Amino acid sequence: MTEIMDFLLEQWIFSGTLAALVALFIYGERPKKYQIVDTNGVVTLMDDDDLIILDIREEKERAAGFISSATHIPMAQVKGKLDSLDKNKKILTYCKNGMRSKSTAELLCKNQFNRVYNLKGGFDAWQAAGLPIKK
Q: Kindly give the confidence (pLDDT) of every residue in the chain, 135 residues in length, as a single tens digit, with 9 standing for 90 and above.
A: 677 767 656 776 766 676 777 776 776 655 568 999 999 999 999 998 899 999 999 999 999 999 999 999 999 999 999 999 999 999 999 999 999 999 999 999 999 999 999 999 999 999 999 999 999
Q: In the chain, where are the structural domains located?
A: 1-30, 35-128
Q: Could you give the C-alpha distances from 36 to 7, 11, 64, in angstroms and in order?
A: 46, 45, 23
Q: Based on the number of CB atoms within 10 Å of its own CB, is 92 exposed (0-12), middle (13-18) or buried (19 or more)?
A: buried
User: Residue 95 catalytic?
Assistant: yes
Task: Please give the sequence-ordered ranges of beta strands (E in DSSP) within 1-135, or none if there are none.
Answer: 35-37, 51-55, 71-72, 90-94, 116-119
Which one of the listed residues 56, 67, 92, 95 is annotated catalytic? Answer: 95
Architecture field, domain 35-128: 3-Layer(aba) Sandwich (3.40)
List the one residue out of 77, 53, 60, 69 whose CA is nearest residue 133. Answer: 69
